[in-house]
Amino acid sequence: MQIRSDILRIYQKVHLWTGITAGILLFICFFAGALTMFKPQLSAWASPPTSILPQIATAQADELLQQALEQHPEIAKGFTLHLEDDKHAPLTWYSHGGGRGLNLNAEQWQATLDEHGQLLTQKVQPSQLGTLIDQLHRTAGIPGNLGHEQLGVLVMGVASILYFMALVSGVIFLLPTLVKTLFALRQKKGPSRFWLDSHNLLGITALPFHIVIAITVVVFAFHDAFYDALGEFVYGKTPGFSRGAPLVQPLNITHLPPIREIIATANQHAPGYEARTLTFMGLDTPRPAVRIEMYNEQALMRGPLADFLSLQPYSLETQFSTFSPTAAGTWGRIVAVFFGLHFGSFGGMPGRWLYFFMGLSGAMLFYSGNLLWLEKRRQQQKGAELPQQPRKVRLMAAATVGCCLGAMVAVAITMLLGKWLYSWVTNINHSYLWSYYLCFAAAVLYSFWRGAARAAIHLLRIGALACIAMPLTSVLATYAPSLGIWAPHTLTTLMVDLVALLFAFGFLYSARLTQQRTVNGPADSIWAIIDKQNSATPASRLSVY
Amino acid sequence: MNERSKIQPDWFGKTVCGLFLGFALALALVGCFAWFGPGGIDAQDKYQFNMWLLAPIWLSVLSFVYLFHSTRRALLWLGGANLLAWGLLLLLR
C-alpha cells in the first residue's frame, strides 16, 4: 500500500514519542495484568492451608449460617458465602475493614462445619497478594490519590491515550511494508531487524486486543469526567443509576429465606448461569442487598471473574443485573462486553490462559519497542576508536532494564518472601508492599549504577533464582514442616509453583542470550561489556549493522 | 511534491486541536446518537454505552489529527465539524 512519505515521517515521530513515554509504564501494567488473570489462585497460594477453612456441601449452607449466627451475632449485618470454592472458606465476614476498597489490615472471620456438623471458626488477616498485584496492574505501582481517584490510575489513563496513538501511528507507518514483512522474522539480518520483526508481528497480530485494552483503560480512568461532560452538555441532567425504594421497616436476618432458595432463584435468572459467591450487605438497614457473582463459562461476563446479580434478599426481587436477558438490557449487555474483553472473563480457564499470554506478549511488545528506540540512536563505530554512546541512550536503556525487569523480579521476590516471612510477621500484606518497593527501587538504582548491559544479566539471574526458589520452597516445606512454610495443597496452587518454574527457565534463557550478546554482539552497542584494560576492539566485533 | 504541499508537523497546535476540539466533537456526536439514535434518550443503560462511545471517537480524532496539512486546517475542519454537530444537536433536541 502506498502512503505519502511526509505522512509516514510524521507518524513515525508520533509513534516514537508516544511509545517511548508510555512504554515502561505499560510494560509493568501488562506483566502484572497477566498475573491478575489468576488473582484468587495467587492469594490462595500465598496463604497457608490452615488460613482457609475447608469447604462444605452447598446443601449445608443454611445449617452453617444458623450455627455461626448463634455464636457471632454480628453476622446479622452482612456476610459472604463462597459455594464449593477451595480458594475460600465457605462463610466469611469482616470484623474490621472489608469494604470494597483496599484495606491491608482487614480482619476476616471464617466459619465452616467439620465432618460431624460442628461449627469451626477462626479469625485471619487474609493474604492480599492477588489484590496487591491487581493494584500494581491498575496503577503501575504509582502510589497516592488525586481527589477520590488513585493517581496511578489517572497516569495510566494518560499513558493509554498515548498507547492508542502509538497503535494507530504504528499501523500507519507499517502499512506500506506490512504484507511483505509481517511474517518475516529475519534473524540473519542482525538483532535490530529481528527485534523490529517481532515487534511488528506482536503488535499486528494482537491489534484488536490492544485497541480494546487502550480504549477500556481510558474509560476506566476518566469515566467520571466523561459522565460529567455528558450530563452537563448532552442530557442536561444526570440520569444516574436508579435504585429501588428503601424499605419502610427494616427487616432482619431471621426473615431471610433459606440460602438454597436464594441460590435457586439466582440460578433461574438466566440459563447457564450459576451462583458462585453471595455477599449479603446491610441486612438490618433500609437498603438490604445480596450481591451474587454469577458464573457462566459460555458467556462473556461483566466482572473480572463473573457477572453480577443483586437481589433484595428478603423478597428476592431483582435490583440489578449485568446479564439481564430482556430486550431493554441490550445497551447494558454491550457495555458488559467491553468490560469482559478487558478482563478476559470468558471462555473459562482456556480464556484466562489466553489473556495471560496476551498480557505477556503485550509486555514484550513494549520492551522490544524500547529496544528498537535504543538501537536507532546508537552511535556507530567508524574507525578503530569505540564511540561513547549518547547519554540519553544509556539512561533510557538503564531505565528500561531497571523498571521492566525490576518490576518482574520484585514481584517474584515478594511472592517468595511472602511465604518465608508469613509466620514471622503480624501482617504479611505490609511485608508485600515493603518488599516490592524496595526490590523495585534497588533494581532501578542498580541498573543506573552498573549500566543496562550488566544489570539486565544480573536481574534476569536474580529473577530466575527467585522463581526456582518457589517450587524448592514447597519441596522443603514437605520435608521440614517445622519451618513454618507450606507446600501447595490444591491443584490450583500447585500450578503457581509450576508456572514459577517455567518463568525461571525463561529468565535463565534470556540471561544466557543477554550474556552472549555482551561478548559476541557489536562492540559499539550499549549491550556490549567492554573490558577496560583491553579496549582495543577485535576486528570480529566491529559493527556490521 | 513541492515544499508547500507537504504536511507541516505543527506538533503542538495539532495536538491541542485533537485534544480539545476532538473531545468536543466526540461529545456532540455522542449527543446526537444519544438523542436521535436507536432507543432515544431514555433507553435503559444507554447512558453507559454513550459514555463508552466517547473514548473511541475522541482517541481516533486525536490520532488522525496529524493528517491535517497544518494547525490552521485542523482548526477549520474540526471547528466546522464541531459547529455542525453541536448545531444539529442543540436545534433538533
User: From the CA of B26, how many Å to the nearest CA of chain A?
Assistant: 10
Q: Which residue has the higher pLDDT, A34 or A5?
A: A34
B-chain CB neighbours of A232 within 8 Å are none
B75 CA: distance to closest CA in chain A (Å): 18
Q: Which of A4, A168, A332 is the closest to B44 by Cβ?
A: A332
Sign of CA dihedral A467, A471, A475, A480: positive
DSSP A372-407: HHHHHTPPPP-SSSPPPPPHHHHHHHHHHIIIIIHH
Name the average pLDDT for chain A.
88
Angle, vertex CA A430, rays to CA A425 and CA A432, nearest 5? 95
Interface contact flag, B45 A331, Cβ < 8 Å: yes
Flag if A234 and B47 touch (Cβ within 8 Å): no
What is the number of structural domains in chain B? Answer: 1
Per 3-state DSSP, chain A is made up of helix, strand and coil in percentages (nearest 5) of 60, 10, 30
- pLDDT greater than 60 at residue A81: yes
Amino acid in the structure at residue A255: H
| C-alpha span between A274 and A264 (Å, rounded) | 9
DSSP state of A183: T
A150, β-bridge pairs:
A145
Please determine, for residue A541, whether its predicted confidence score (pLDDT) is greater than 50.
no
Instruction: Report yes or no on B3 lying in a domain.
Output: no
Residue ranges in chain B whose pLDDT is less than 50: none
Contacting residues of A for B90, CB less than 8 Å apart: none
Residue B79 lies in a domain: yes
517450587: which residue's cell? A471
**Closest to A88 in 3D by CA, of A134, A37, A127, A135:** A127
The string of DSSP letters for A28-57 reads HHHHHHHHHTTHHHHHHHTS-GGGSPPP--
Identify from A8, A10, A161 which residue to disrupt to test chain B contact, counting B C-beta atoms within 10 A and taking the largest count.
A10
- H-helix or E-strand containing A122? strand A119-124
Give the best residue of A230, A242, A342 to mutate against chain B (max B CB count within 10 A): A230
Task: Assign 3-class secondary structure to chain B.
Answer: CCHHHCCCCCHHHHHHHHHHHHHHHHHHHHHHHHHHCCCCCCCCCHHHHHHHHHHHHHHHHHHHHHHCCCHHHHHHHHHHHHHHHHHHHHHHC
B89 Cβ under 8 Å from any chain A Cβ: yes
Q: Do A165 and B63 touch (CB under 8 A)?
A: yes
Q: Would B29 be classed as within a structural domain? A: yes
Task: Give a yes or no: residue B1 inside a domain.
Answer: no
Q: CA of A92 to nearest chain B CA: how many angstroms apart?
A: 33
Please report which helix (H) or strand (E) contains residue A291, including its range. strand A289-295
Q: What is the pLDDT at residue A542?
A: 44
- How many C-alpha atoms does A181 have within 13 Å on its Cβ side? 23
In A231-347, alpha helices (H): 259-267, 330-343
pLDDT 10s digits, A33-57: 999 999 999 999 999 988 899 999 9
Q: Do A235 and B41 touch (CB under 8 A)?
A: yes
pLDDT digits 0-9 by tens, A314-355: 999 888 888 876 666 788 888 989 999 999 998 889 999 999
pLDDT of residue A131: 93
Point out the residue among B48, B56, B62 whose CB comes nearest to the CB of A332: B48
Distance (Å) of CA A203 to CA A8, A155, A178, A356, A377:
18, 23, 12, 16, 22
Nearest to A436 by CA among A150, A156, A139, A158: A139
The verdict on residue B87 lying in a domain is: yes
Cβ within 8 Å, pair A331-B46: yes
Asked whether residue B2 is domain-assigned, the answer is: no
Shortest distance, CA B80 to any CA of chain A (angstroms):
18
Q: Kindly list the structural domains of chain A, giving each domain's residue range(s) and its CATH number in brackets, ordered by start.
A: 1-43+127-242 (no CATH), 48-126 (no CATH), 250-343 (3.10.450), 387-545 (no CATH)
Q: How confident is the model at residue A536 (pLDDT cuts 50, 70, 90)?
A: very low
Q: Output the pTM of the full model.
A: 0.92
Q: Residue B4 domain-assigned? A: no
* DSSP per-residue string spanning A436-448: HHHHHHHHHHHHH
A225: number of Cβ within 10 Å: 15
Identify the pLDDT of residue A241: 60
Q: Report the residue of B17, B20, B61, B63 to disrupt the A interface, i.e. the one with the largest count of A CBs within 10 Å.
A: B63
Domain span at B15: 9-92
The helix/strand/coil state of A147 is coil
In angstroms, what separates the C-alpha of B12 from chain A's closest C-alpha? 12
Containing A121, the helix (H) or strand (E) segment is strand A119-124
How do residues A440-463 score in pLDDT, each as one tens digit?
Answer: 999 999 999 999 999 999 999 999
